[in-house]
Amino acid sequence: MDNTAPNPALDRFPAGRLAFPHRDLTGIGQLERHEILYLLASAEQWVELNRQSAKHAGLLAGLTIINAFFENSTRTLLSFEIAGKRLGADVVNMHAAQSSVKKGETLIDTAITLNAMRADAIVIRHGSSGATQLIADKVDCPVLNAGDGSHEHPTQALLDALALRAKLAERGEEAEDFTGRTILICGDILHSRVARSNMLCLQAMGAQVRACAPPALMPAGIEAMGVEPFSNFDAALEGCDVVMMLRLQQERMAGQFIPSAREYHHLYGLTKARLASASPEALVMHPGPMNRGVEIDSEVADMLDRSIITQQVEMGVAIRMACLDVLTRTARGVEGWSV
Closest to 39 in 3D by CA, of 148, 195, 156, 129 = 156
* Radius of gyration in angstroms for the set of CA atoms belonging to the chain, rounded to a whole number: 20
* Distance, CA of 267 to CA of 213 (rounded, Å): 10
The minimum distance between CB 103 and ligand CP, in angstroms, equals 25
Contact present, 132 and 148 (Cβ < 8 Å) = yes
Closer of 187 and 230 to ligand CP (Cβ)? 187
* H helical segments located in 171-243: 193-204, 233-237
Closer of 107 and 244 to ligand CP (Cβ)? 244
The minimum distance between CB 130 and ligand CP, in angstroms, equals 18
* Distance, CA of 81 to CA of 110 (rounded, Å): 20
Closer of 73 and 93 to ligand CP (Cβ)? 73
List, in order, residues 6 or more apart from 260 with CB less than 8 Å away: none
* Distance spanning both ends of the chain, measured CA to CA: 12
- Residues in contact with ligand CP by CB under 6 A are 73-76, 147, 156, 287-289
Closer of 74 and 298 to ligand CP (Cβ)? 74
Q: How many C-beta atoms surround the C-beta of residue 50 within 10 A?
A: 17
The minimum distance between CB 2 and ligand CP, in angstroms, equals 32
The minimum distance between CB 212 and ligand CP, in angstroms, equals 19
The minimum distance between CB 289 and ligand CP, in angstroms, equals 6
Closer of 2 and 251 to ligand CP (Cβ)? 251
* Distance, CA of 165 to CA of 159 (rounded, Å): 10
The minimum distance between CB 287 and ligand CP, in angstroms, equals 4
The minimum distance between CB 158 and ligand CP, in angstroms, equals 12
DSSP 336: S
Containing 64, the helix (H) or strand (E) segment is strand 64-69
Helix (H, G, I), strand (E, B) or coil at 304: coil
Closer of 57 and 309 to ligand CP (Cβ)? 309
Closer of 73 and 279 to ligand CP (Cβ)? 73
The minimum distance between CB 193 and ligand CP, in angstroms, equals 9
* Distance, CA of 77 to CA of 100 (rounded, Å): 19
Closer of 84 and 287 to ligand CP (Cβ)? 287
List, in order, residues 6 or more apart from 203 with CB less than 8 Å away: 209, 226, 227
